[in-house]
Amino acid sequence: MTLGLFLTQTLNGLQLGVLLFLLAAGLTLVFGIMNFVNLAHGSLYMMGAYFAAAVFNATNSFVLAGVVAVPATMLLGMLVERVALIRLYQRDHLDQVLATFGLILFFNELVRIIWGPASVYMNAPEALSGTVMLFGFGYPAYRFAIIAAGLFVGAGLYWMIHKTRVGMLIRAGATKPEMVAALGVNISLLNTLVFGLGAGLAGFAGWMAGPILSVQPGMGEPILILTLVVIVTGGIGSIRGAFYGAMIVGIVDTIGRAFLPTLLREFLERSLAQAAGPAIASILIYLLMAVVLAVRPQGLFPVKHG
């Protein structure tokens, strides 16, 4: 293992963590405020990627793709919430799971009908096609831009949640929704805005992930599973927990997959290490979640009540 390889994989872990945070921030707010289990959140990420890819392939403009994709995904999320999900808030979680799982199937078939079953591609902007020199080694400029953009959006989200009136209502709604409603706040509108915010963040993640991942039907499910691990690990309803949980999960998953198989070869017979290494690496984050739940069932960084 070289220092350059370790730093590269660490940055890859941060990049994955940033994408997970963009998804987890919206999803954990929906969980925390509405007590609503939304399995279709990954589908909004997929739709954001498809919107961005469609605009990019039509205009060859990466910036315009984001300008269109993020608001479009936000509006789509608000439409879905108003049309389909608003009737499920008072239902059991099992009903919510079944309904939003049905939305996953719907959106997967929708993109197959519109864009076909094959993958759709989009390129990184020309200005970010090179590498950035860090500590004597090169790192892809676009991946570095994802980290920077995600941290910038995260800082903006933190400012909105903690420094604005809307953020105050969101935080209050996450802890004492009955009190907020008693003060005359339109909880239904607040729910729609929060859902739209989460959808917009998912669309932003889909736009940023498009050039490094193939945009294809079903791309939202694998990252949804990682996102659920993030919010359980960090603490449901906590933006701070979503951020730190995403960084931890992203780095553990990336470093584990990169180095665990090699490390096991030092202690196990080579053929056994080659078989066990990838399998253990793939379940490492789930083992992490199990340990966190055993030690701190509320998550590492739960919402502070007060």
Structure tokens at 36: 């609503």
Do residues 24 and 246 make contact, with C-beta atoms less than 8 angstroms apart?
yes
Residue 196 lies in a domain: yes
Residue 124 lies in a domain: no
Closest CA to 233 of 257, 250, 258: 250
Position 305 scores a pLDDT of 54
Distances (CA, A) of 239 to 68, 87, 111, 249: 26, 26, 31, 15
Residue 304 lies in a domain: no
- C-beta atoms surrounding 3 within 10 Å: 10
Exposed (0-12), middle (13-18) or buried (19+): which is 193, by Cβ within 10 Å?
middle
Q: Which residue type does 56 have?
A: F
HSE, side-chain direction, 13 A CA sphere, residue 66 = 15
3-state secondary structure of 67: helix
- For the stretch 80-126, pLDDT in tens is 999 988 888 888 888 999 999 999 999 999 999 999 988 888 888 88
Residue 89 lies in a domain: yes
Residue 161 lies in a domain: yes
CA distance 156 to 283: 33
Closest CA to 21 of 287, 239, 259: 239
**Beta bridge mates, 134:** 137
Q: Which residue type does 60 have?
A: N
Q: Residue 98: which residues within 8 A CB-CB, separation 6 or more?
A: none
Range of the domain at 164: 17-119+141-295
Residue 68 lies in a domain: yes
Question: What is the Cα gyration radius of the chain?
Answer: 20
Q: Which residue type does 244 have?
A: Y
Range in 138-152, 211-225, 278-292 with the lowest mean pLDDT = 278-292
Percent of the chain residues topping a pLDDT of 90: 43
Residue 235 lies in a domain: yes
Whether 238 shows a pLDDT value over 60: the answer reads yes
What's the number of domains the chain is made of?
A: 1
CA distance 27 to 38: 7
**Beta bridge mates, 133:** 138
The predicted model scores a pTM of 0.90
Residue 36 lies in a domain: yes
CA 288, 101, 84, 66 dihedral sign is positive
Q: DSSP H helical segments within 116-265, as ranges?
A: 141-163, 165-175, 177-182, 187-209, 220-234, 239-264
Closest CA to 33 of 247, 198, 246, 224: 198
Do residues 42 and 280 make contact, with C-beta atoms less than 8 angstroms apart?
no
- For the stretch 243-300, pLDDT in tens is 999 999 999 888 888 887 777 777 777 777 777 777 787 788 899 899 999 999 888 8
CA distance 95 to 219: 24
